């Protein structure tokens, strides 16, 4: 007598089997925000957030004769200038989700409520978008129309080392104006204005910051530039040795660089390695273009409205929700930070 063979290999016998779909969702994108995580936080109280900065007079001789009176005080002892008043406009960041009633009602693998899941997802995206505006954007501090905050590059133009050829970067020349420099970075694979980062670039910017009275402790750049620095540190002619620990693991990378002007921590930021078109020139591409060299203690995110979710309500058979925040970047001492530009070349 013939018997029916029920195995998983038979197509007909698999009709009653449930799909093997794991009840979780794996997010493949990175969600870190290295720059924001390295700096502080403060409170903004208006759409134009202001702060003050001051500096000492340049060193000078102040020798006076014995018994001098106030009327004969040397001019070198004169009072310094007024404190500088700086400010940055707050920027409103927002994303919206719309989920149908049916989508919320159906039984889905890995998602209890599609609306709640999408809100969480765009909230994470919004943090990454803010990170991009801070480290990657060449936008100015602008208070008209759609307000934009001046990001890192709008505040450090006193201290710039150009690793590429002349013309790869134009600084605005006005400290504290919240104005970003302009770049010459095309989407072509060969760009004569770019060059690979060198250890000497780090020494140069550290010296510039030191001479301005600052002391940088962190260098943040793209993964490509981070790897390039590690390669240069262990290159021919460099007085460095790859560390081998007690487990036999060889340390190829460099996390700390002891320059002539202090120790600096080297941190990769994946956002800085992303291609990002900015400005009026559609060909402008800032991937791998720069390295930030700074003292994290002088930077803060000033928040006017913290990240929050607002359920707008029903629109027909859909639920609409909005994630919104309003904040800006405060740079207490712009001269304590610098920028290496013109990077990305071979």
141-145's contacts with Cβ under 8 Å and 24+ in sequence apart are 141/87, 141/88, 141/89, 141/177, 141/178, 141/179, 141/328, 142/89, 143/47, 143/48, 143/89
The whole-number pLDDT of residue 2 equals: 56
* Numbers of helices and strands, H then E, in the chain: 5, 16
pLDDT band for position 91 (cuts 50, 70, 90): very high
Query: Mean pLDDT over residues 162-191, rounded?
Result: 63
The whole-number pLDDT of residue 109 equals: 74
Within its chain, how far is the Cα of 45 from the centroid? 24
Specify if 221 maps to a domain: yes
Within its chain, how far is the Cα of 97 from the centroid? 26
Report which of 240, 235, 175, 216 is spatially closest to residue 340, judged by C-alpha positions.
216
The whole-number pLDDT of residue 216 equals: 92
Report which secondary-structure segment, H or E, holds 296: none
The per-residue pLDDT of the chain, averaged, comes to 78
Q: Is the pLDDT of residue 267 over 70?
A: yes
The whole-number pLDDT of residue 62 equals: 74
Task: Identify the residue with better confidence: 28 or 142.
Answer: 142
Query: Mean pLDDT over residues 131-136, rounded?
Result: 90
Specify if 7 maps to a domain: no
pLDDT band for position 249 (cuts 50, 70, 90): low
The whole-number pLDDT of residue 285 equals: 60
The whole-number pLDDT of residue 282 equals: 40
Specify if 170 maps to a domain: yes
Specify if 66 maps to a domain: no
The alpha carbons of the chain give a radius of gyration, in whole angstroms, of 27
Specify if 63 maps to a domain: no
Q: Are 293 and 338 within 8 A, CB to CB?
A: yes
- In degrees and rounded to multiples of 5, residue 263 shows phi and psi of -80, 140
Pairing of strands 48-53, 84-89: antiparallel
Query: Mean pLDDT over residues 64-69, rounded?
Result: 80
Specify if 203 maps to a domain: yes
The whole-number pLDDT of residue 242 equals: 55
Q: Are 202 and 292 within 8 A, CB to CB?
A: no
Query: Mean pLDDT over residues 256-262, rounded?
Result: 84
Query: Mean pLDDT over residues 214-222, rounded?
Result: 93
**What CATH number is attached to the domain comprising 197?**
3.90.1690
Q: How many domains does the chain have?
A: 1
0.85 cut: is pTM over it? no
Virtual torsion, Cα 151, 83, 212, 35, nearest 10 deg = -30
Q: Is the pLDDT of residue 187 over 50?
A: no
Domain of residue 283: give its range: 34-51+84-238+249-341
What distance in Å separates the CA atoms of residue 346 and residue 343, rounded to the nearest whole number?
Answer: 9
pLDDT band for position 301 (cuts 50, 70, 90): very high
The whole-number pLDDT of residue 192 equals: 56
Max mean pLDDT among 175-189, 208-222, 303-317 falls in 208-222
Specify if 302 maps to a domain: yes
pLDDT band for position 188 (cuts 50, 70, 90): very low
- Which residue is it, tokens 């040397």? 74
Query: Mean pLDDT over residues 288-293, rounded?
Result: 90
Specify if 69 maps to a domain: no
């Amino acid at each position: 007598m013939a018997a029916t063979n029920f195995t998983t290999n038979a197509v007909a016998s698999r009709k009653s089997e449930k799909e093997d779909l794991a009840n979780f969702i794996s997010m493949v994108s990175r969600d870190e925000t290295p720059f924001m995580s390295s700096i502080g936080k403060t409170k903004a109280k208006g759409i134009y957030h202001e702060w003050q900065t001051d500096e000492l007079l340049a060193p000078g001789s102040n020798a006076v004769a014995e018994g001098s009176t106030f009327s004969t005080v040397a001019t070198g002892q004169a009072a310094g200038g007024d404190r500088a008043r700086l400010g940055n406009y707050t920027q409103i960041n927002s994303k919206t989700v719309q989920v149908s009633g049916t989508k919320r009602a159906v039984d889905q693998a890995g998602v209890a409520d599609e609306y709640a899941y999408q809100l969480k997802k765009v909230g994470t995206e919004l943090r990454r978008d803010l990170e991009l505006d801070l480290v990657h954007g060449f936008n100015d501090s602008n208070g008209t129309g759609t307000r934009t905050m001046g990001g890192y590059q709008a505040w450090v133009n006193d201290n710039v080392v150009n690793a590429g050829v002349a013309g790869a970067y134009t600084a605005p020349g006005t400290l504290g104006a919240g104005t970003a420099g302009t770049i010459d970075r095309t989407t072509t694979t060969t760009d004569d204005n770019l060059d690979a980062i060198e250890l000497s670039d780090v020494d140069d910017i550290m010296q510039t910051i030191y001479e301005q009275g600052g002391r940088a402790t962190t260098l943040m750049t793209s993964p490509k530039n981070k790897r390039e620095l590690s390669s240069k540190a262990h290159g021919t002619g460099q007085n460095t040795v790859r560390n081998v620990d007690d487990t036999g693991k060889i340390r190829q990378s460099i996390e700390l660089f002891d320059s002539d002007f202090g120790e600096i921590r080297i941190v990769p930021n994946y956002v800085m390695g992303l291609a990002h078109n900015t400005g009026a020139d559609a060909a402008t591409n800032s991937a791998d273009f720069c390295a930030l060299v700074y003292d994290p203690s002088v930077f803060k995110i000033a928040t006017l409205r913290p990240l929050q979710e607002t359920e707008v309500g029903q629109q027909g058979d859909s639920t609409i929700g909005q994630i919104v925040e309003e904040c800006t970047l405060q740079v207490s001492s712009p001269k304590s930070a610098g920028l290496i530009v013109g990077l990305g070349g071979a």
